[in-house]
Amino acid sequence: MLVLHHQEIPRTHDLEALLSVVIAWVPALQEQFSDLQWLTTYAVGSRYLVELFGDVPGQAESQRADAIVQAVREVCREYIQSAGFDLSAEEA
């Protein structure tokens, strides 16, 4: 999204911060805000999981994270395709 709009890409793992930048172009991502808040904990703390959580995430957390990522990816792909870009080569 940021490249598409010629914006500088922040060097951060904070998904909430990234969402706040792209939400102006893709309001549909607002629906994922609370999920991205939850996922940010893992993105920011991925190098320190044991210290943060006492253990590595389990299967339920992994499945939830995957579902969030897939939902956000789909919204972003739809937006990029609506801007005229062909993403069919990525699917191969």
Indicate the Cα dihedral angle 25, 30, 32, 33, nearest 10°: 110
pLDDT averaged over the chain? 81
Q: How far apart are CA 26 and CA 65, in angstroms?
A: 21
What pLDDT does 67 receive?
Answer: 94
Query: Rounded to two decimals, what is the model's pTM?
Result: 0.74
Which tens digits make up the pLDDT trace of 31-63?
888 888 888 877 765 555 566 656 667 789 889
Under the banding of pLDDT at 50, 70 and 90, the label for residue 10 is confident
Domain spans in the chain, listed from the N-terminal domain onward: 15-91
Which tens digits make up the pLDDT trace of 21-33?
888 888 888 888 8
